Amino acid sequence: MLRRSLIGASATIGLAAPAVAQPRHTPVPAAPRPQARPPAVPSAPPANSPIGPVDTIARNVVLIDFETGATLISKGAEERMPPASMSKLMTMYVVFEYIKNGRIRPDQMMQVSDAAWRMGGSRMFLDRASSVSVDDLSRGVIIQSGNDACVTLAEGIAGSERAFTEIMQNMARELGLTSSTFRNATGWPDPEHRMTPRDLATLSRRVILDHPESYRLYGERSFRWNNITQENRNPLLGKVNGADGLKTGHTEEAGYCLTASVKRGDRRLILVVGGLPTMRARYEEAERLIEWGFREFDNVVLFRAADTIDQVPVYLGDRPTVPLVGGREVVATVPRGWRETLQAKVRFDSPVPAPVVKGQELGQIEVSGRGVPPMTLPLYAGADVERLGVVARIPAVISRMMGRGT
């Protein structure tokens, strides 16, 4: 396995200087605030970040960059916590998948059972035995956080809420949410109903990536049903520049929680906070941490999609090397003042045996440095390399056996 440093050696490996470390986007200024607020006073240990501790009163925090997956803030990110209504993100991911795969339709009607009608907590205020469309029920869950809407969707899809939670669990495993366990469709308190902040951030990213059209529902400001208008419970909508989702949560055990997404220009951040003491603290802490993330970090393009990052020797190929490329823009999340600390290294097996197919994964690029969130991305073959014929291979085999070739 070869490992080569790239930063500071671009001329050696033939990289075009303008292609390295260019700003990803033009920053969009944050919405003006009437007056500055003092930093939060922590009642617990601070959160970790690549550039040092960050004070926060939240019990659990994770802040990630949507494009690169870099973790900007972490505190109890792997702790299994009660997600409260934030687990409705998983409920709706299942609904979105069923719509996408044609198993249910947005205009399909589902009947409200007695069990759904009797649900406590936040409600859509469905009438018992009424029929409601999947589209309206979805808004009831996303905007109004309706427990009655959740149970109606669960029963309509799987026959029972219990069977639906099995679907949630299986789909969560497919998404890589290995620390999440679901016991209901609503987030109702249960000692075994748990998610980690990391899993919630991962799930949020998948909602946005896999269902961009349906995701727009999370940005709707209000929904009226049964002559009752309810505002979206997300406190950031309309107040924090670029906020467009996702979901709040609150129980006595969980405290006040929020999974939020904010997009400015080409850049999006996803934040999960939990264990806050009040609704106001939830809003203020979420706003403060998101502004910190946009202010302290930025995304830069290290290599463009077609840039040759390195040349990989090929054994028994009709050409001696194959270009190693990113296949897409290789973007890193870095702190302001990153230029003196950023390091990028490539790893690949050498030589790679022919044939090599364009797009075949051949190695990885590792980005790190003081204050830089570590990141590893795959690298691919930039061209096809055919295998030499039998006769042409003989000299190469002999040369390799004698230690003179590759």
Q: Of the listed 88, 113, 180, 261, which one is catalytic?
A: 88
List C-alpha distances in Å: 278 to 57, 274, 289.
11, 11, 16
Q: Which residue has the tokens 């080409």?
A: 266
- Three-class SS state of 398: helix
Active site (annotated) includes residue 85: yes
Do you find a cis peptide bond into 355, omega within 30 degrees of 0?
A: yes
- Three-class SS state of 262: strand
In this structure, which amino acid lies at residue 77?
Answer: A
In this structure, which amino acid lies at residue 11?
Answer: A
Active site (annotated) includes residue 49: no
The residues, any chain, with a CB within 8 Å of residue 328's CB and separated by 6 or more, are 305
In this structure, which amino acid lies at residue 192?
Answer: E
Active site (annotated) includes residue 88: yes
Name the phi and psi angles at 261, rounded to 5. -130, 135
User: What does the DSSP assignment read for 157-210?
Assistant: HHSSHHHHHHHHHHHHHHTT-TT-B-S-SS----TT-BB-HHHHHHHHHHHHHH
Instruction: Report the candidate in 279, 274, 242, 247 with the shortest Cα–Cα distance to residue 260.
Output: 247
In angstroms, the CA 384 to CA 354 distance is 9
Number of Cβ atoms within 10 Å of the Cβ of 352: 21
Element (H, E) at 266: none
Q: Of the listed 74, 87, 138, 145, which one is catalytic?
A: 145
In angstroms, the CA 250 to CA 86 distance is 9
Q: Of the listed 49, 74, 75, 85, which one is catalytic?
A: 85
Residues classed as catalytic: 85, 88, 145
